[in-house]
Amino acid sequence: MATDYDAAYEKSMNDPDAFWAEQAEDCHWYKKWDKVLDDSNKPFYRWFTGGEVNTCYNALDYHIDNGRGDQLALIYDSPVTETSKKYTYNELRDEVAKFAGALAAQGVVKGDRVIIYMPMIAEAAIAMLGCARIGAVHSVVFGGFAAKELATRIEDAKPKVIVSASCGIEGKKTIKYKPLLDGAIEFSSHKPDKCIVFQRPMEKAEMISGRDLDWAESVAAAAPHDCVPVAATDPLYILYTSGTTGQPKGVVRDNGGHMVALKWSMKAVYDVDAGDVYWAASDVGWVVGHSYIVYGPLLKGCTTILFEGKPVGTPDAGVFWRVISEHKVRTMFTAPTAFRAIKREDPEAKLLKNYDLSNFKYLFLAGERSDPDTIQWSENNLKVPVIDHWWQTETGWSIVANCAGLHLYPVKYGSPTKPAPGWDVQVVDPDCNQVKAGEIGALVVKLPLPPGTLPTLWQNDDRYVESYLDEFPGYYKTADAGYIDEEGYVYVMARTDDIINVAGHRLSTGGMEEVLSDHPDVAECAVLGVADKLKGQIPIGFLVLNAGVTRENDEIIKEVIQMVRDRIGPVAAFKTATVVKRLPKTRSGKILRGTIQKIADNSDYKVPATIDDPTTLDEMEVALNNIGLAKSRT
C-alpha cells in the first residue's frame, strides 16, 4: 500500500517544481518567485529565482505576526556555567533586531560578510539571525579554532566585522578567544573594520582601541533594525569545510531554497510541529548547528535548545536525560559518538532512572556511521524510535532518512533507510555506470540537487565543479561508498577512501566496524586499511572498551578477530587489533581515520585544526608501535 512518503517522493521526482512550490507556500515571501527551478546555467542550478524573502523574518517575526510571540523560541542551557536563559519569540526578535542595528551602525549592509567566532552561547544565535535580518552573509567559525585556521577564513570571506566573545569553555577549561582572534587578524592580509566582542563574566578580553567594540555597549546604543528583503538566490551564509588541498571550501547556502527545505524537513523528517521542543546537541560552528539549532526549528515555530556542555562530564553521563526531562524535549538529534560516550560511562543506563522522559518521542543520529550496537542500546533504554539519517555540510539537510513525519519504516540496522523526497540517490561504478542492487559502489545524487543544498562554493565555481561534479558527470559526488538493497534501503558503508582493497577484494571498513561494535565489551571502535606489501592493504582495528571492563585485552582482541572471520569471512584478512584509551576525534565527534592511517603508514601528516585533543595522536602512535606499525616515529 502506498504511503505518504511514497506519494511525496514520487511527486518530488516527477514534478519537482510543483512539489517544492507547494512547500514554499508555507513561507513568507515579499515577492513570489518567477521560476521554481532555474536550470538556465547548468550545472549551477538555482531555486526560486526572482523571489524575495528574509530568513530572519520567517524565523521570528512571522510567528509573532501569527500570534506565537509569547511562546518560547530559544532555551540556552549551560551546565558548564550552571546557568540557563529562556527567550520567547518576542524577546528573541527584540534582541536580534537590536544586534542587527548594532551591525548596521558599523556600516554593515546587504551582501557584506560577518565572521562569527563564538562559543555555544545564545549570543551566537542572535548574531547569526542579526546578520540574516539585514541581509549580511554570516560565516560562523567554530569557537576556539587556531589563529591560522581562522585567518584562512578571514582571508577568504573578507568580513567587514568579526563578532566574537572573550572566551569559551571546554569541559573545565576556559579558552581565551581574544588572543586567537587578534593573532588571526594579524596573520590575515584582510583586516575587518571592527570587532564586536561579548564579554563573558569568567574572562574579560583586552580590547584594541578604535577596532574593538563591547557587545553590550554596542547593542545598548543601537536602534532596532527591520528585516531587509533579499533575493531568494542571495547567500545567507558561508560555512567552511575542510578541503583536500588544505584550503577550506566555503560552502554557500542561499536564502530561499534553504528556508523552504529546512522548514519542510522539520515535520517531514523529524515529525515536529510548531510549539514542540526540539534539541540538536551540536555546535553552531557545524552545519547541524546552522540547520537544526538555529534555522530549522525557528522557521517551523518550535522551541530550540542551545546547549553548552558535553554528553559526559558536565557533570555526568546523565546530562542529556536531565535536559530532555527538564525542557520536555520531543525530538533530539545528536552524533552517535555522544551516545557511545554515555554508553561507555554508564553501560546499564542507571542514570536514566533519575529522569522523566515521558515527553520524548524520537532520537535522531547523524554525523558519522551509526553502528547497530549504539542504536540498539539506545532503543532498549529510551524505548523510542532511534533513527539514523545521512547528510553532509554541503547538503544542509537529509539525503537519506527514515522520514518520521511521512511514514516510519521498519529499521534495518546499518541503513539510514530511504532517500528523502527530492533526492535521486544512485550507486555507480568508477565509469559512472549504475551497479546492481546490493553491490557496493560510489553513492551519488542525480542533478539537480533539491533546495537547501549548496549552489556553489564561495567565489570559486571552478572548485565546486571539480570537487563535486567532475568525477561522475550529471551527478553530485557524495564521496561516500555504499549500496542500495532490493527494497530501496540505502547503506552508507564508508567514505570512498575507506573502501580498502585486500588482495583484490573491495571491502568496507565500516562493515568491519559494525562487527567489532557488537562485542559486549567494546564501547566504540575504528577500522582502517594500512599498506601491506603482500595484499596491498590490510585492516587494523582499534577498540575502546566500556568503563569497568576487567578482562584481558588479548582475550577481547581474539574474540573480535573471530567475530569478523565468522561474519565477513577470511577474505577480510582481519588479524590485528589493539585496545586504546581514546580515539582521535574532531570536536564534533568524528574519528580522524585519515590521520590515523597516515600515522600507521608512516606518512607525514598535519594535526587537523578540528581535533578535540592532540594528545590522542601521540597515544595512537604508541598503540601502532605496539603492533609493529609507525616504528619510525617512536
Kindly report, residue by residue over 203-220, the tens digit of the pLDDT. 999 999 999 999 999 999
Is 467:457 a contact under the CB 8 Å cutoff?
yes
User: Is 59 domain-assigned?
Assistant: yes
Q: Which range (71-75, 158-162, 616-620) has the least confidence?
A: 616-620
- CB atoms closer than 10 angstroms to residue 179: 12
* 379, part of any domain: no
Q: Do 131 and 276 sit in the same domain of this protein?
A: yes
Domain assignment of residue 25, yes or no? yes
The overall average pLDDT reported for the chain is: 92
Distance CA 94, CA 233 (A): 27
pLDDT at 499: 67
Residues 274 and 233 in one domain: yes
Taking the C-alpha atoms of residue 245 and residue 449, their distance in angstroms, rounded to an integer, is: 25
DSSP 31: B
Q: Which residue has the cell 583484490?
A: 504
Residues 474 and 514 in one domain: no
pLDDT (0 to 100) of residue 358: 97
Give domain status of residue 492, yes or no. Answer: no
Do 403 and 523 share a structural domain?
no
Q: Check: CB of residue 68 under 8 Å from CB of residue 298.
A: no
The residue-averaged pLDDT of 114-134 equals: 98
Of 49-58, 146-155, 239-248, which range is least confident?
A: 239-248
Q: State pLDDT tens for residues 174-199.
A: 999 999 999 999 999 999 999 999 99
DSSP codes joined into one string, 333-377: EE-HHHHHHHHHH-TT-GGGGGS--TT--EEEE-SS---HHHHHH
CATH code assigned at 132: 3.40.50.12780
Domain count, the chain: 2
Encoded amino acid at 21, one letter:
A
Best-predicted range by mean pLDDT (109-113, 245-249, 334-338, 521-525): 109-113
If asked whether residues 177 and 231 sit together in one domain, one would say yes
Query: Is residue 101 domain-shared with residue 208, that is, in the same domain?
Result: yes
Q: What is the residue range of 113's domain? A: 4-309+389-482
Q: Are 451 and 526 found together in one domain?
A: no
**Which range, of 147-161, 223-237, 433-447, 485-499, averages the lowest pLDDT?**
485-499
pLDDT of residue 495: 64
Reply yes or no on whether the pLDDT at 243 is more than 60. Answer: no
164/69 same-domain check: yes
Asked if 145 and 283 sit in the same domain, the reply is yes
**Range of weakest confidence among 247-261, 361-375, 409-423:** 361-375
Does residue 360 lie within any of the structural domains?
Answer: no
Buried b / exposed e along 288-326 (16+ C-beta atoms within 10 A): bbbbbbbbbbbbbbbbbbbbbbbbbebeebbbbbbbbbe
User: Percent of the chain scored above 90 by pLDDT?
Assistant: 76
pLDDT band at 373 (very low <50, low <70, confident <90, very high): confident
Bridging pattern class, strands 161-165 and 194-198: parallel
- Is residue 193 in a domain? yes
pLDDT for 409 beyond 90: yes
**Residue 491: inside a domain:** no
Segments in 141-280 forming alpha helices (H): 147-157, 178-187, 215-221, 256-268
Give the pLDDT score at 634: 34
Pairing of strands 173-176, 167-170: antiparallel
Question: Of 393-407, 536-550, 619-633, which has the strongest mean pLDDT?
Answer: 393-407
**Cβ neighbour number for residue 541 with a 10 Å cutoff:** 25
Three cell numbers written together for 12: 518530488
Tens of pLDDT, residues 566-583: 887 777 888 889 999 999
Asked whether residue 133 is assigned to any structural domain, the reply reads: yes
* CATH code for the domain of 608: 3.30.300.30
